[in-house]
Amino acid sequence: MTQTSNREHAIVIGGSIGGLFAARALSDLFTQVTIIERDPVNDQPESRKGQPQTRHLHGILIPAQKFIDNNLPDVREKLLDGGALENDWGKVTRWHHFGGYSYECELGVRGIALSRTFMEYEVRKAVTSIENIQLMAETSVDSLVMNDTNTSVSGVHVTYRAKDHTQETILADLVVDVSGRGSPMPKWLNSMGYTAPEEQHVKINVGYATRTYTRTGKYLDEPKIFMIQATPPHQTRTTFMFPIEGDRWIVTASGYLGDYPSADANEFLEFVQSIPTDDIYNIISKEQPLTNVVTHRFPSSRRRRYEKLDHFPNNLLVIGDAVASFNPIYGQGMSSVALQVNVMKDMLEQHDNIISWKSFFQRTSKIIDWPWQVAAGEDFRYPQAEGEMPPAMNLINAYIAKVHRATHHDPVVFKQFAEVLNLIAHPMSLMKPNILWRVLLANTTKSTEINYMPVQKTTL
């Protein structure tokens, strides 16, 4: 159960956000770090074939922001200079959920709104400017190289897609798989005589459709975030609209249980008009669309339980969507990957020569439990969701529904919930006596009952 006794060369498979974060962390510990990315990568904000989700609205929760601030200190300023917007999340967000809007107030939780492609571009520029990091684009990793005893990974076999599909072997002391949801690791493990990890799924069939628009008028100086969310089990349609760089809005509509928004421009608008409030429709119907509508399907949240394996090759780690990919509605993917990278760095720093793959996956599994509980838990509010329900989920969901409703009135509960959703406070913190008491009180007052009435369409 050993890992990395040498620190000469580390290979990162995948050059998306998780691969960039991993390479940044490893650059402090290895002489050379090579990121191997299958797609061509251009010097511009772009969405690549291997990460089509980047065309859709991405919220950046606090752990991902912190990772950037702590490891790539110039990036935040570049993002803000380039038009990203920073503000207190509670002050600028119109979040409609469970029959009402959250109380508008400062929460002390600051967020930046921008496109995923712009964020990743600045992160990529900063990471690849580090002297000992090399990005090999248009190169796919086809399989792992094993040592003579088939116990340790010693490199990867690659194909140079830009160079007549030439194949080569690249040796390394550590290989980190950050190749996303489509990671071939289970297949590779099987082909090397290892058992693949057990998989957990929560099938929910969500469809996304996204379009960007001009942002004019009062929202140029006072941009707001709109999150108009379906309340399960009867509503299935959600739409989020964030202000992004370039004086634009990005609008992502999503529908659960196969109620997919369409790529047709008129049908997209009709979908946005059909959600519980008119806030977003009233704005975008007066703005100019800047792109076509693009769509994405997300059939299920999926988790691979590497921590339960008995055998696993040394000198190999798996991180990010390759391990767990959650229903994106809560925007946790990039922060989950940042937290897993922090564990990897922490363990490599603490144990000069040896880290155990088992302890690594056990620690990252604890990190994943938390967003998994939030995302999968919320999905199970729909009786049609299929999968293994976490223990006591119905009971937890009944309480969290009360927390949702309490945020309509109570800034203290809202702040605590915002911290949980931002992965900076543990979900159990919602059970603290002072929060529990406020949640129960907020759900019994007369003012709350007003919010239980059928949703009124509102105009800002």
Ligand X SMILES: Cc1cc2nc3c(=O)[nH]c(=O)nc-3n(C[C@H](O)[C@H](O)[C@H](O)COP(=O)(O)OP(=O)(O)OC[C@H]3O[C@@H](n4cnc5c(N)ncnc54)[C@H](O)[C@@H]3O)c2cc1C
Measure Cα distances from 441 to 102, 105, 434 in Å. Answer: 16, 19, 11
What's the closest the beta carbon of residue 133 comes to ligand X, in angstroms?
15
- In terms of CB distance, is 116 or 438 closer to ligand X? 116
- Is residue 232 at the binding interface for ligand X, with CB under 6 A as the rule? no
Choose the binding region for ligand X from 54-62, 263-271, 277-285, 372-380 (rule: CB under 6 A). 54-62
What's the closest the beta carbon of residue 209 comes to ligand X, in angstroms?
10
CB atoms within 10 A of CB 386: 15
Strands 9-13 and 237-244: unpaired
Site string for ligand X, 300-329 (x = CB under 6 A): --------------------xxx-----x-
Choose the binding region for ligand X from 44-52, 211-219, 309-317, 347-355 (rule: CB under 6 A). 44-52
- Is residue 56 at the binding interface for ligand X, with CB under 6 A as the rule? yes
What's the closest the beta carbon of residue 429 comes to ligand X, in angstroms?
21
Closest CA to 225 of 337, 415, 362, 57: 57
Place of tokens 């922490």: 346
What's the closest the beta carbon of residue 444 comes to ligand X, in angstroms?
34
Site string for ligand X, 286-305 (x = CB under 6 A): ----------x-x-------
Size of the site for ligand X (CB under 6 A): 39
Whether the CB-CB separation of 238 and 98 falls below 8 Å is answered with no
- In terms of CB distance, is 16 or 416 closer to ligand X? 16
Residue 185 CB contacts under 8 Å (≥ 6 apart), including other chains: 177, 179, 196, 304, 318, 322
- In terms of CB distance, is 241 or 406 closer to ligand X? 241
Place of tokens 């969701």: 385
Choose the binding region for ligand X from 176-184, 195-203, 277-285, 407-415 (rule: CB under 6 A). 176-184
Sites for ligand X among residues 367-406 (CB under 6 A): none
- Is residue 334 at the binding interface for ligand X, with CB under 6 A as the rule? yes
Distance of alpha carbon 173 from alpha carbon 316, whole angstroms: 9
Sites for ligand X among residues 3-32 (CB under 6 A): 13-19
The structure tokens listed for 225 are 């975030």
Distance of alpha carbon 376 from alpha carbon 253, whole angstroms: 19
Rg (alpha carbons) of the chain, rounded to whole number: 22
- Is residue 261 at the binding interface for ligand X, with CB under 6 A as the rule? no
- Is residue 207 at the binding interface for ligand X, with CB under 6 A as the rule? no
- Is residue 186 at the binding interface for ligand X, with CB under 6 A as the rule? no
- Is residue 208 at the binding interface for ligand X, with CB under 6 A as the rule? yes
Burial category of 412 from C-beta neighbours within 10 Å (exposed 0-12, middle 13-18, buried 19 and up): middle
Residue 105 CB contacts under 8 Å (≥ 6 apart), including other chains: 90, 91, 411, 414
Choose the binding region for ligand X from 1-9, 35-43, 143-151, 273-281 (rule: CB under 6 A). 35-43
DSSP string, 346-403: HHHHHSSS---HHHHHHHHHHHHHHHHHHHHHHHTTSTT-EE-PPTTHHHHHHHHHHH
- The helix (run of H) or strand (run of E) holding residue 238 is strand 237-244
- Is residue 111 at the binding interface for ligand X, with CB under 6 A as the rule? no
Q: Residue 110 carries which side chain, given as an amino acid letter?
A: R
- In terms of CB distance, is 250 or 413 closer to ligand X? 250
- Is residue 50 at the binding interface for ligand X, with CB under 6 A as the rule? yes
Strands 100-101 and 139-146: unpaired
The structure tokens listed for 450 are 């007003």
Choose the binding region for ligand X from 57-65, 214-222, 362-370, 430-438 (rule: CB under 6 A). 57-65
Choose the binding region for ligand X from 173-181, 190-198, 219-227, 393-401 (rule: CB under 6 A). 173-181
Choose the binding region for ligand X from 74-82, 143-151, 172-180, 384-392 (rule: CB under 6 A). 172-180
Q: Which of 4, 53, 295, 416 binds ligand X (CB under 6 A)?
A: 53
Sites for ligand X among residues 132-151 (CB under 6 A): 140-141
- Is residue 337 at the binding interface for ligand X, with CB under 6 A as the rule? yes
CB atoms within 10 A of CB 407: 25
What's the closest the beta carbon of residue 183 comes to ligand X, in angstroms?
7
- Is residue 109 at the binding interface for ligand X, with CB under 6 A as the rule? no
Residue 306 CB contacts under 8 Å (≥ 6 apart), including other chains: 197, 312, 318, 323, 357, 361, 365
Binding positions for ligand X, rule: CB under 6 A? 13-19, 36-39, 48, 50-51, 53, 56, 58-59, 64, 140-141, 178-182, 208, 296, 298, 320-322, 328, 331-335, 337
